[in-house]
Amino acid sequence: MGESILAAASANLLAPPILFFTLGALAGWAKSDLSIPDQAAKTLALYLMLCIGFKGGVEANASGFSSDLLAAGGLGLGRSAADA
């Protein structure tokens, strides 16, 4: 039991998002001027939005259309229009 928990913890802690978060936290703590160029940041943001949207679309397709899905989509569109 203890070995499986340790294996799961090490696998999760060595995941790239956790490692990048740790790198950013350490850079902030050390007051480093570590930065990402603006074009690279915009590209990463666009890539992440596309990935999130694609994953959401795949999950929506798997669950099928329902009133809950349409209500959530309408709420999201309404909030995005209100923020603009």
- pLDDT, residue 7, reads 83
Q: Measured on CA atoms in the order 65, 70, 71, 72, is the torsion positive or negative?
A: positive
Q: What is the pLDDT of residue 8?
A: 82
Distance CA 40, CA 77 (A): 28
pLDDT tens-digit profile, the chain (84 residues) = 667 888 888 888 888 888 889 988 998 899 888 788 999 989 989 998 998 889 888 888 888 878 888 898 899 899 988 876
Tell me if 25 sits within 8 A of 17, measured CB to CB: no
The residues spanned by each domain of the chain are 1-34, 36-84
Q: Which residues contact 34 (CB under 8 A, 6 or more apart)?
A: 24, 27
What is the full DSSP assignment across 11-25? HHHTSHHHHHHHHHH
**pLDDT for the residue numbered 47:** 92
Give the model's pLDDT for residue 16. Answer: 86
pTM, two decimals, is 0.51
Q: Are 44 and 36 in contact (CB under 8 A)?
A: yes
